[in-house]
Structure 1
């Protein structure tokens, strides 16, 4: 490739990359004062963001649990001899760890809103009981009680959110999000 073609590509690509990195300082992102204004300052703003984060994290947990744990389990994908059993168990194990992680994050987010925090108090023990779920699923040791407990806890979290004015809807995480979780 000629030097001229490289320069042309750089001229085209550089603004696109800077556009994607709007908040980054590498492309001359906003000043410190502009960035400081984006953070919540009043307690009302903090509560609003707490509910928003709670809804996002709980929705991702619910979506992962349903797509990769509850639905495949009910379809018989985890039974010995089932086609794709190993892959389903690995995905379920990742989803179990991801679900636990997002539910813990949602619980932490809920602490920013007194109503939401009170609504989640009875659910925290259920969330803690899911800690070993990922390992059980990955090893193929999960049973009806384990899968039903996931479904029950997700339902309780959704109910708590709804009662506190933060309704949760399932959000399916991508496979890359699941691996990061």
Structure 2
């Protein structure tokens, strides 16, 4: 095996020369291959609906999931503790309740925005949810306001009102939203 190359030839045959352009193309191909493979895996992992009826069904399903999580978080960690007096100065567990409420407020806002985006996939749902986008946007800063202990009756009522409006809009479009309390780990993500 004296004189053998890594390719296995004895070095006696003609050598194939690669131009700089060919090398550049190979480098680009090598760099793009992992990205393409990842895209292929994602496409295979996420089946795409083939009919418009399926797309609408999936849009409703995603809407219900996101709106239900927002409703559950709002009730469990904002409305219920507020009504129980946990946000008042001197209340036992106030700091922890405010931190959870702040996280829940940000979480609910993000899930409601996602639900509004999901609603666009179903014409009836989109029509029902469209008037609520301003109300959803009004919740944007309330998470930090809750966390700082600066939220009052009006802020809590606005959260409750927007959630109830989203539930009613979903109900009118055949997408029933029920409270689904997210886990603490879901709040932080």
Under a length normalisation based on structure 1, what TM-score does the superposition of the two structures give? 0.79
Structure 2 residue 78 is the aligned partner of structure 1 residue 55: no
Q: Which runs of 5+ in 2 are unaligned?
A: 1-39
What corresponds to 2:7 in structure 1?
none
Equivalent positions of 1:88-167 (< 5 A) are 88-167=97-176
Inter-CA distance 134–113: structure 2 relative to 1 (3 Å threshold): same
Shift in Å, 1:159: 0.1
Task: Give me the whole-angstrom Cα distance separating, in 2, the residues matched to 1:108 and 1:129.
Answer: 16
Task: Give me the whole-angstrom Cα distance separating, in 2, the residues matched to 1:85 and 1:35.
Answer: 47
Inter-CA distance 72–46: structure 2 relative to 1 (3 Å threshold): same
User: What is the total number of aligned residue pairs between the two structures?
Assistant: 149
Does the residue aligned with 1:88 lie in a helix, a strand or coil?
Answer: helix
What corresponds to 2:79 in structure 1?
70
Task: Give me the whole-angstrom Cα distance separating, in 2, the residues matched to 1:75 and 1:37.
Answer: 43
Task: Give me the whole-angstrom Cα distance separating, in 2, the residues matched to 1:114 and 1:96.
Answer: 28
What corresponds to 2:8 in structure 1?
none
Under a length normalisation based on structure 2, what TM-score does the superposition of the two structures give? 0.76
Bigger-Rg structure (1/2) = 2
What corresponds to 1:17 in structure 2?
none
- Which region of structure 1 is more displaced relative to structure 2, 103-112 or 121-130? 121-130
Inter-CA distance 37–93: structure 2 relative to 1 (3 Å threshold): closer
Task: Give me the whole-angstrom Cα distance separating, in 2, the residues matched to 1:162 and 1:58.
Answer: 12
Task: Give me the whole-angstrom Cα distance separating, in 1, the residues matched to 2:140 and 2:73.
Answer: 15
Shift in Å, 1:121: 1.4
Deviations 1:19-38 (A, max 9, x none): xxxxxxxxxxxx97x93783
Q: Which runs of 5+ in 1 are unaligned?
A: 1-30
Task: Give me the whole-angstrom Cα distance separating, in 2, the residues matched to 1:77 and 1:176.
Answer: 22
Pick from 92, 96, 99 the counterpart of residue 87 of structure 1: 96
